[in-house]
Amino acid sequence: MRCLVWGAGAIGGTLGAHLARAGHDVDLVDTVDEHVSAINRVGLTIERPIATFTVRVRAFTPDTLAGEWDTIILATKAHHTETATRALRPHLTPGGCVISAQNGLNELTIASIVGAARTVGAFVNFGADYMGPGVIHYGGRGAVVVGEIDGTITPRATAIRDAWLDFDSHTIVTRNIWGYLWSKEAYGAMLFATALTNESIADALSIHKYRELYVALAREILAVADARGITPEAFDGFDPAADSLDALVAHNRRSAKSHSGIWRDLAVRKRRTEVDAQLGIVVTLGLEAGVATPLTTRLIELIHDVENGERALSLDNLDALT
């Protein structure tokens, strides 16, 4: 596979490094000059516990990139999707495709810019963090799924799956990529709730006082999915039909990535999160479908309060949401 990875952070860097190590022809694009410089100077390093290696791979900033690719993996933060897709469009061949390896329902935005026929969906749930220029921590395996957004099984989706098997041997191709993406939205709402605290994902989900809150958040998201005719899929301990979170807690206990990227944005990197792009779209789609989303709306408000320095991370925030 010859591919361009647009966004060489936690997800894109991990995926791109593994594909390059397996012999695929990979180029990386990132907007952080120091990251690009470090990759070109000494390589891209993936840190344990899942794997530890350094791979030499070409890296560019958007303004230094030239050429076209049949396959572009988009792995930016969700709120950068529109800007990134418009920037990468000149580098996409007429018959090529953009694969969204992101959180959220970004395939909708991508398709509006490059066309639905050139958009492929992907669901990734592995744990990784950007640690600094040229260094990614790969902390936990998770489901990896590829699928056409129209629900068909095509040679290109199968070819992407076959290449990604070199990253994770359990990668699958599906007819129901939207089912996975909407389930990730429901799980993502739980992660945003845990990020309102300083607890680890597993510890926060284990607090019985808030179990009903987490389940209610997920059900609210899935009610919007249901109104859109989506059948949610189970993955990595998340069961859309279950009331228990025990399997989800157990999955997160096995990961060396203790806290979400959302929490890192709030507590460590002190930057805005993906909440508007990832959960705000659910509120919008809920309004269109006539489905109320009061918990999701309030969760977005609380995340903004933390981003703006008006709230500290605390379990008190879960009490406010409850």
The answer to whether the peptide bond before residue 240 is cis (omega within 30 degrees of 0) is: no
Q: Provide CATH 3.40.50.720 ranges for the chain.
A: 2-175
pLDDT of residue 256: 81
- Nearest to residue 235, comparing CAs of 103, 158, 147, 123? 123
- Using DSSP's 3-state secondary structure scheme, residue 315 falls into coil
- Nearest to residue 16, comparing CAs of 63, 65, 75, 70? 75
pLDDT of residue 14: 97
- Nearest to residue 167, comparing CAs of 256, 29, 51? 51
Please give the single-letter amino acid code of residue 291: V
Tokens of 176: 């129901």
**pLDDT confidence band for 106 (50 / 70 / 90):** very high
Q: Provide CATH 1.10.1040.10 ranges for the chain.
A: 179-321
Mean pLDDT (whole number) for 37-62: 96
- Give domain 179-321's CATH number out of 3.90.950.20, 2.40.340.10, 1.10.1040.10, 1.10.10.1100: 1.10.1040.10
List of residues 6+ apart from 66 with CB closer than 8 A: none
pLDDT digits (tens, 9 = 90+) for 293-311: 999 999 999 999 999 999 9
d(CA 40, CA 32): 13
pLDDT of residue 167: 96
Q: What is the CA radius of gyration of the chain?
A: 19
pTM of the model: 0.93
Instruction: Write down the architecture of domain 2-175 according to CATH.
Output: 3-Layer(aba) Sandwich (3.40)
